[in-house]
Amino acid sequence: AAVTARYRAHLSPARATLGELFGGLVESSSSGAWVFTTDGRALLNCGGYGVLLMGARHPRVVRAVTEQIATHPVATRMLLEPRAGAAAEALAAVTPPGLDHVHFAGSGAEAVEAALKLARCHGRTRVLATHGGYHGKTMGALSATGNPMYREPFLPLLPEFRHLPYGDAAALEQELAQGPADTACVIVEPVQAEAGVHLPPPGYLSEVAASCRAHGALLVLDEVQTGLGRLGTWWGADREGIVPDMLLVGKALSGGVIPVSAMVARQEVFQPFGSDPFVHTSTFSAAPVAMAAAEAAIACIEEEGLVSRAKALGSHLLPRIRQIAAECLGELLVEVRGAGLLIGVELAEPGLTAELLLELISRGVIANHSLNSHAVLRFTPPAVLTDRDVDILLTTFEQACT
């Protein structure tokens, strides 16, 4: 009750109400895929909006971060500092070929801001985004986010943003060919996550890349949620072997311990940022603690084979969740879809999804709804689920559906 009261008094009353809706549970610690509450409950965390690829408190990441805090937590920003280069090199080594220049930030939205600013450095203004696309809630990122509900209270947003249907490469080609000729960039998710887990038709990403190239617009692939193995491939870009001009990474990049995000660009695209050390800065950008976390997290993903684990787990979970949902929900179910460990369950209406979410949480499994489509429940479990965790997830889902 004291926790709820403080939310009400000093944070957000609405958030307090949401917490109460979920049983007033108060989380106190976590380990791997599990979250523990102050009243001694253990919940399997299959939510986290994609942050927890390697589960909570991965020992290697925790060690790297605590050692860095104990020795040199904050850079002078005047001298050279070795951590940033090491993390950038590690990230460049796993991103698609040619993407080798990195700007580090904290949130996903900040990575988006960096991309939008860098795109505009190249002399053009317009930005094309997609309906339902989610890129964050700072003013620039929100200008790209395709959800009127979040946008309308803050209008006017940045000028010269236009939203097109996701998955429709022909509409984009037409806009680029026949619309104003000053499109700076196209920003798109390889699989839309917050829109409710939408996989584009095969060929879409390649066609988008080809249209961008043909019309001189930069392609910004927002992989804040899909990147680093979540989809069972290192990047959503790998689904069609494309290489964007800029790739945005966040969430799991720090191993889920602190906010770290990145905008990774080709050298000639990055040039305006690379030629002036002060053109786009932020006090905590590339902070040594963040860099230690990112380097350790990337090493974990590689050495523990988390990408292929995500793929294997996803190909087991998706058909089972689909089958259970079809059997137990009948016509209340619209569709189950996903890739790797990004799995969406769309119900006939948002109220039903909220009920199912509540049932799951009260039975000990945390899932999320999708920020841009409340009818779609989302599972984004870590790639470190054990066989027992998988059983618990499936059994609990079945019970919650019945």
- Residues forming contacts to ligand PMP in the complex (CB under 6 A) are 49, 107-109, 112, 134-136, 189, 193-194, 222, 224-225, 250
Give the β-pairing of 218-222 and 183-188: parallel
Residue 351 CB-density burial (10 A; 0-12 exposed, 13-18 middle, 19+ buried): exposed
Instruction: State the amino acid at position 325 in one-letter form.
Output: A
For residue 401, the minimal CB distance to ligand PMP (Å) is: 26
Q: Are 378 and 191 in contact (CB under 8 A)?
A: no
Closest to 401 in 3D by CA, of 347, 335, 356:
356
Pairwise CA distance, residues 21 & 173, whole Å? 45
Q: Which is nearer to ligand PMP, 224 or 345 (CB)?
A: 224
**Vertex 369: Cα angle to 368 and 373 (nearest 5):** 155
Of 102 and 401, nearer to ligand PMP (C-beta) is 102
Closer CB to ligand PMP, 68 or 130, in the complex: 130
Angle of helix 306-329 relative to helix 288-303, nearest 10 degrees, comes to 80
To ligand PMP, the closest distance from the beta carbon of 373 in angstroms equals 13
CB of 225 to ligand PMP, least distance (A): 4
Tokens of 313: 């787990």
Tell me the chain's radius of gyration from C-alpha atoms: 21
Task: For ligand PMP, give the closer residue by CB, 109 or 301.
Answer: 109
How far is the C-alpha of 255 from the C-alpha of 303, rounded, in Å? Answer: 14
Tell me the one-letter amino acid at 68.
Q
Least distance in Å: CB of 45 to ligand PMP?
Answer: 16
Q: Return d(Cα 73, Cα 118) in angstroms, integer.
A: 28
Shortest distance (Å) from residue 261 CB to ligand PMP = 6
Q: Least distance to ligand PMP from the beta carbon of 49, Å? A: 5
Smallest separation (angstroms) from ligand PMP to the CB of 141: 7
Closer residue to ligand PMP in complex, CB, 229/325: 229
| Sheet arrangement for strand 34-37 | 27-31, 34-37, 42-45, 365-366
Residue with the CB atom nearest ligand PMP in the bound state: 108
* CB neighbours of residue 213 within 10 Å: 12
Smaller CB separation from ligand PMP, 264 or 324: 264
Tell me how far apart the alpha carbons of residues 378 and 369 are, in angstroms, rounded to a whole number. 6
H or E, element range at 162: strand 161-164
HSE on the CB side for 317, CA within 13 Å?
36
Q: How far apart are CA 402 and CA 391, in angstroms?
A: 17
Q: Which is nearer to ligand PMP, 51 or 345 (CB)?
A: 51
Rounded CA gap, 314 and 148, in Å? 32
Which of 110, 295 has the CB closer to ligand PMP?
Answer: 110
- Count of all residues that appear for the chain in the document: 402
Closest contact distance (angstroms) between CB of 196 and ligand PMP is 12
C-alpha atoms less than 13 angstroms from C-alpha of 202 in its C-beta half-sphere: 0
Which is closer to ligand PMP, CB of 34 or CB of 134?
A: 134
> Between 139 and 177, whose beta carbon lies closer to ligand PMP?
139
Q: Closest approach of Cβ 278 to ligand PMP, in Å?
A: 24
Least Cβ distance, residue 14 to ligand PMP (angstroms) = 18
